[in-house]
Structure 1
């Protein structure tokens, strides 16, 4: 099941897409937004597999939205103007749907997303590094991913915690959320990313690693416990 969100400042356009989703068994609608900024703020909460996004919107254009969120969330553009097609493909969006969007064209776009996703699964990258390089003070340190227990974000820096040391770096938490493999690392709070295999036990809404209690916020609670419960 493909979980998606819709973003369009025109309610009628949203209604049409919602109708197409209701007639497509493989797609589930998580939420519709008329304000792209509001949608952006809730992406981490919903964690959609796919986003259908209009291009011409007053608060934030679809192109701007894609430049911010497109690296993490696959996007299909929807628009009434075909002059944006080249820009869409330059941003590596999944597809470009020209309004009014027919059910057949919508479902073809969904299949295109499924085909791309299947290709990624069946042809995994074989040379993914098992380490990262981190700038800390005047050095660039090599850290094995297996040594990382959790990462804590502060106001102006990030602390990477291993079994025997704490490494401070100016990179932000969002960078590590995108960089670290999701197979083991998971963001559980606005200030924490943890290694799932390093959890000692879970007490209420806290995971304990190295004796430290790491809070699981409401935003990430469902995804975290779904993963814990298998």
Structure 2
């Protein structure tokens, strides 16, 4: 469970974030604060894993507030002004959300957060939207992803999810233990049994290696 804190001086912006957080089972909202000074009291009281931090606030900006923290949690900056993006990423922000942002964009940002958690095997998971639900899927439950037209099939150990996502976006969210081997396939390297010719064996499935991916696949698998 990721313990998070919202800091935003706009009531409506806080309400939107609170509803988004409530819809993700991997997130636990510790507090929703209207300014950085109020948030500082909570940070000193309880461990916080992730901040949703507005940049333009009275008294103390989100950027200066984050710089002042001796122990910095992971941070996702939220703002209506795009010109702060560079400074936000210089502070190693997980992501930068430009208001107004959709729930899908919010989920994409949260998916980038990699935390060690006793509730998640190896502390690694991804949130996948399927059947109008957000599924928390541990990386070690995934065998491979298969692109089917406008959708992607997530082949898990015990089931298959049909998700409205692209392989390109999934590549950005997944760790190095996953490998794009074909224009239509991303595999879990941990599930790979063997490579034979231009095919990869995963359990009962054989995945083709695309010609344009062959050199990169061979390079990575020989490490």
Provide the TM-score with structure 1 as the length reference: 0.49
2:39 equivalent to 1:36? no
3-state SS of 1:21 partner: helix
Post-superposition shift, 1:4? 0.3
Return 5+ residue gaps in structure 1 as ranges: 123-230
Closer/same/farther in 2, CA of residues 16 and 27 from structure 1, 3 Å limit: same
Residue 101 of structure 1 is matched in structure 2 by 101
1:93 Cα deviation from its structure 2 partner: 1.2
Q: CA deviation at 1:84?
A: 0.2
| Alignment-derived partner of residue 64 in structure 1 | 64
Give the superposition deviation at 1:8. 0.1
Name the counterpart of 2:75: 75
2:46 aligned with 1:49, yes or no?
no
Q: Distance in 2 between the 1:70 and 1:64 partners?
A: 12
Aligned pair 1:87/2:87, yes or no?
Answer: yes
C-alpha distance in 2 between matches for 1:98 and 1:70: 26
**Per-residue deviation, residues 177-209 of structure 1 (Å, max 9, x unmatched):** xxxxxxxxxxxxxxxxxxxxxxxxxxxxxxxxx
Could you say which residue in structure 2 is the equivalent of 1:225? none
Number of residue pairs the alignment of both structures matches: 118
Contact 1:70 1:93 in 2 (8 A): no
Q: Say if 2:7 and 2:36, in contact at 8 Å, map to a contact too.
A: yes
CA distance in 1, matches of 2:14, 2:101: 11
Q: Deviations over 1:47-88 (max 9, x none)?
A: 111010000001110110110127421111000000000000
Report 1:1-230 matches (<5 A).
1-69=1-69, 71-114=71-114, 117=115
Structure 1 distance, partners of 2:57, 2:87, is 16
Taking structure 2 as the reference length, the TM-score comes to 0.50
In structure 2, do the counterparts of structure 1 residues 72 and 34 end up closer, same or farther at CA, with 3 Å as the change threshold?
same
List runs of 5+ in structure 2 lacking aligned partners.
Answer: 123-223
After superposition, the CA RMSD in angstroms is 1.7
Distance in 2 of aligned mates of 1:96 and 1:55: 10
Matches of 2:79 and 2:11, distance apart in 1: 14
Distance 1:69 1:17, change over 3 A: same
Pair 28,60 (structure 1): closer, same or farther in 2 beyond 3 Å: same
Indicate how the Cα distance of structure 1 residues 39 and 25 shifts in structure 2: closer, same or farther if over 3 A, else same: same
Quote how far apart the aligned CAs of 1:32 are.
0.3
